[in-house]
């Protein structure tokens, strides 16, 4: 009799054990916030989606709200059409992994720049993510919903207080970021971007989307080139390139871009989120569109004109400026 | 496969007539729109637009690609219009055709403002306004008118306008300011309403 | 500065052909001056009304009619002579029929202008603003961060 009862008792015991172990194991199995961020970057290259995205952007004294329809086809094709404000309604952009093209529908205006989806751009994005993982305290906040989809909410808080912060909402199923809020070092919201509508696995005819764009000779108009180190850049450029000897904590070199067929250079530095750009060009090229002498971050030195931009405190920018040699 | 303007010019220079046709088809609407804006009359607009392309055909080899093709083309367009006006200086001035509603009474689509959500009453009101604006534009001096037309219809930048008219940006600035001020005065009652 | 001077700037402000600084100054004035503000609003409305007039289009068969005219004119074309006349007309619409010597002098000055413009190069600081936002976009997923700069440049 005993031998018969034993298995009957064992079953509920086992059940309890299974439930208990599950309860203990689930926090252990829970996905790390850093891993979520990594997956969310890769997700951006591996998904087909279409969505409506709203971006709120604050510049000093002004606020822009832009609504854009975005179509992304893996791995490297992105098409956007601006829906509002009406001033830019006809604006469409296309990124095919080679170029990023802006165009106003029905006009002959268009503009080429470097692709944000090219292999180099991805490499830069991955490096930048790694920096983010090093320079930021990454934590998971309470889960939330965006357009009815469950999302992880991840907070990125800088280890150094002078740097930019971010909160990002990541889709639990696909790992695509559905919302992103950036704050400056003072904690003020500077930009917020979120989907108001999102659909996955939609395929579009690229041909049809290309039709919005004039097929101009790309070689002739394209005047930018990207370098991942200064050595290669210096070999290519006609004037000596200066770089800052001081950078704010956690910042490092990201990339150099040749503009206007080598007439000007942009050097970019990042800590993973924030960006500092130093522009320079020979002084015989006129810089227009600002009030002469009143812009402390535009200056001339040794036959070159410089312009510095970054979202770090003013005193840091001045320090960088003084260190440019 | 679509070619750039510059490529078409090059191909035409090498003897490819098809490229010329492509250029014409690409720009005929814009050139016509500009010419119409300046001369304000359909027959003349057709005739002068053709004259523009005849000259393009003849003189395209002189286009050296130092500026964009369209600034060259628009400059040619403006000159064709202005020299035609000069030729007719002694003829009695033609009445601006659009000021005469009977000419297009059958075709409301033509002067409707580009907003589909308007009520019939508003369409009527807008049609009247469009006519007023067109005749106000037509009353500007030739130089002011052509500068204004290129700016508003083709959205050329001041830099491009300066190239087209071979003058300084400052001149363009003051011409546009004057043109707009004259227009503003002429149609002021229409500019205050909340339509 | 008197209102008359401000009013002269409204048109280029509307076209986004003023510097950022100047724009700020104009906006500041508009906030404090009702008359200028009204005028600016009227100009803006004028612009929008003109924009809303649908473009006139040539009738169908434009190219066919053109090629007919072309085939009539082609044989009598004298390239060089017509060419000079064309340059003359094209460059100096208002000069009229003044001596060719004068036009030659002007031609020289035009070519000097072209030569000069080909060596001097201008960059607007807004392009840097746009490039800066583009760099930020490398660290973000937002669709078009560079758009605000574009709105400013037009």
> CB distance from C51 to chain B under 8 Å?
yes
Q: What is the pLDDT along chain B (195 residues), one digit of tens a residue?
A: 577 888 888 888 777 788 888 899 999 999 999 999 888 888 889 999 999 999 998 888 788 777 788 889 999 999 899 888 777 664 443 333 232 333 332 222 222 333 333 444 555 566 777 788 888 998 999 899 999 999 988 888 898 899 889 899 999 999 999 999 999 998 888 787 544
Shared domain check, A183 and A39: yes
Q: Is residue A263 part of a domain?
A: yes
Q: Is residue A72 part of a domain?
A: yes
Query: Which is it for strands C122-124 and A286-288: parallel, antiparallel or unpaired?
Result: parallel
Q: Is residue A265 part of a domain?
A: yes
Contact A215 B155 (CB under 8 A): no
B103 interaction partners in chain C (CB closer than 8 Å): none
CA-closest candidate to residue A64, choices C150, C8, B105, B183: C150
The length of chain C in residues reads 154
Which parts of chain A have pLDDT scores under 50? 1-3, 22-28, 217-220
Q: Is residue B100 part of a domain?
A: no
**In this structure, what CATH number is given to the domain that contains residue B60?**
1.10.1740.10
Shared domain check, A229 and A204: no
Looking at residue B1, its pLDDT comes to 55
- pTM for the predicted model, two decimal places: 0.52
Contact A272 C139 (CB under 8 A): yes
Contact C114 B76 (CB under 8 A): no
> CB distance from A273 to chain C under 8 Å?
yes
Q: Is residue B188 part of a domain?
A: no
Query: How many domains does one find in chain C?
Result: 3
CA-closest candidate to residue A90, choices A108, A115, A113, A63: A108
Shared domain check, A294 and A191: no
Q: Is residue B171 part of a domain?
A: no
CA-closest candidate to residue A103, choices B42, C107, C150: C150
Shared domain check, A158 and A243: no
Q: Is residue B162 part of a domain?
A: no
Name the minimum distance, in Å, from the CA of C40 to any CA of chain A: 17
Query: How many domains does one find in chain B?
Result: 1
Q: Give the separation between CA A97 and CA A209, rounded to whole angstroms.
A: 15
**In this structure, what CATH number is given to the domain that contains residue A293?**
3.30.200
Instruction: Give the residue numbers spanning the domain of B80.
Output: 1-94
Q: Of A164, A179, A210, which marks where a domain is finished? A: A210
Nearest residue on chain A to B4, alpha-carbon basis: A216
Instruction: Give the residue numbers spanning the domain of A274.
Output: 224-323
> CB distance from C120 to chain A under 8 Å?
yes
Q: Is residue C24 part of a domain?
A: yes
Q: Is residue B16 part of a domain?
A: yes
Contact C121 A309 (CB under 8 A): no
Residues C14, C22 contacting (CB under 8 angstroms): no
Q: Give the separation between CA A200 and CA A176, rounded to whole angstroms.
A: 10
> CB distance from C22 to chain B under 8 Å?
no
Taking CB atoms and an 8 Å cut-off, how many pairs form between chains A and B?
17
Shared domain check, A233 and A144: no
Query: How many domains does one find in chain A?
Result: 2
Q: What is the pLDDT of residues A204-253, one digit of tens each?
A: 887 788 877 766 544 445 568 888 888 888 888 878 889 999 999 999 99
C140 interaction partners in chain A (CB closer than 8 Å): 180, 182, 191, 193
Shared domain check, A265 and A203: no
Q: Is residue A262 part of a domain?
A: yes
> CB distance from A125 to chain C under 8 Å?
yes
Interface of C with A in 14-43 (CB under 8 A): 19-22
> CB distance from A183 to chain C under 8 Å?
no
Instruction: Give the residue numbers spanning the domain of C138.
Output: 123-154
Q: Is residue B61 part of a domain?
A: yes
Shared domain check, C153 and C112: no
């Amino acid at each position: 009799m005993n031998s018969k009862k034993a298995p009957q008792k064992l079953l509920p015991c086992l059940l309890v054990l299974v439930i208990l172990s599950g309860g203990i194991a689930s926090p252990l199995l829970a996905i790390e916030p850093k891993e979520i961020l990594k997956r969310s970057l890769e997700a951006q290259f591996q998904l087909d989606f279409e969505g409506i995205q709203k971006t709120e952007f604050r510049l000093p004294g002004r606020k822009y709200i832009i609504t854009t329809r975005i179509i992304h086809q893996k791995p490297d094709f992105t098409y956007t059409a601006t829906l509002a404000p009406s001033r830019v309604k006809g604006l469409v952009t296309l990124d095919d992994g080679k170029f990023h093209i802006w165009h106003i529908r029905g006009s002959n205006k268009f503009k080429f720049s470097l692709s944000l989806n090219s292999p180099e751009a991805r490499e830069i994005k991955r490096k930048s993510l790694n920096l983010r993982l090093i320079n930021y305290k990454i934590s998971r906040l309470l889960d939330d919903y965006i357009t009815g989809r469950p999302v992880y909410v991840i907070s990125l808080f800088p280890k150094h207080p002078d740097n930019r912060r971010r909160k990002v909402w990541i889709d639990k199923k696909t790992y695509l970021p559905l919302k992103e809020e950036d704050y400056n070092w003072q904690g003020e919201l500077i930009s917020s971007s979120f989907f108001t509508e999102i659909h996955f696995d939609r395929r579009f005819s690229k041909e049809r989307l290309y039709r919005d764009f004039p097929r101009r000779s790309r070689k002739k108009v394209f005047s930018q080139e990207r370098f991942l180190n200064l050595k290669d850049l210096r070999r290519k450029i006609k004037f000596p390139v200066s770089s800052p000897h001081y950078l704010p904590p956690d910042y490092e070199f990201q990339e150099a871009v040749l503009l206007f067929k080598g007439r000007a250079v942009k050097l970019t530095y990042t800590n993973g989120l924030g960006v500092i750009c130093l522009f320079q060009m020979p002084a015989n090229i006129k810089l227009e569109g600002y009030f002469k002498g009143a812009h402390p971050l535009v200056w001339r030195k040794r036959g070159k004109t410089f312009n510095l931009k970054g979202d770090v405190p003013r005193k840091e920018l001045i320090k960088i400026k003084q260190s440019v040699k | 496969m679509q070619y750039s303007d510059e490529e078409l010019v090059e191909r035409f220079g090498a003897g490819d007539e098809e490229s010329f046709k492509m250029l014409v088809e690409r720009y005929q609407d814009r050139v016509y729109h500009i010419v119409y804006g300046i001369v304000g009359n359909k027959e003349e607009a057709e005739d002068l637009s053709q004259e523009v392309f005849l000259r393009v055909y003849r003189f395209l080899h002189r286009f050296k690609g130092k500026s964009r093709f369209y600034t060259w083309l628009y400059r040619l367009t403006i000159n064709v219009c202005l020299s035609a006006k000069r030729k007719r200086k002694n003829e009695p001035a033609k009445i601006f055709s659009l000021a005469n509603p009977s000419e297009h009474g059958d075709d409301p689509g033509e002067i409707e403002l580009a907003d589909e959500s308007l009520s019939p009453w508003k369409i009527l009101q807008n049609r009247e306004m469009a006519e007023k604006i067109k005749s106000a534009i037509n009353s500007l001096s030739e130089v002011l008118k052509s500068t204004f037309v290129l700016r508003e219809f083709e959205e050329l930048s001041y830099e491009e306008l300066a190239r087209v008219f071979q003058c300084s940006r400052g001149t363009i600035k003051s011409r546009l300011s004057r043109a707009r001020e004259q227009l503003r005065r002429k149609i002021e009652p229409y500019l205050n309403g909340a339509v | 500065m008197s209102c008359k001077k401000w009013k002269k700037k409204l048109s280029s402000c509307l076209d986004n052909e003023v510097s950022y600084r100047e724009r700020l100054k104009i906006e500041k004035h508009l906030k404090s001056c009702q008359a200028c503000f009204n005028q600016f609003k009227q100009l803006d409305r004028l612009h929008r009304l003109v924009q809303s007039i649908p473009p006139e289009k040539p009738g169908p068969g434009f190219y066919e009619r053109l090629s007919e005219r072309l085939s009539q004119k082609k044989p009598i074309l004298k390239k060089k002579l017509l060419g000079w006349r064309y340059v003359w007309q094209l460059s100096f619409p208002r000069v009229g029929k003044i001596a060719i010597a004068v036009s030659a002098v002007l031609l020289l000055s035009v070519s000097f202008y072209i030569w000069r413009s080909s060596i001097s190069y201008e960059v607007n600081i807004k392009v840097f603003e746009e490039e800066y936002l583009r760099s930020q976009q490398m660290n973000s997923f937002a669709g078009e961060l560079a758009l605000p700069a574009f709105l400013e440049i037009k």
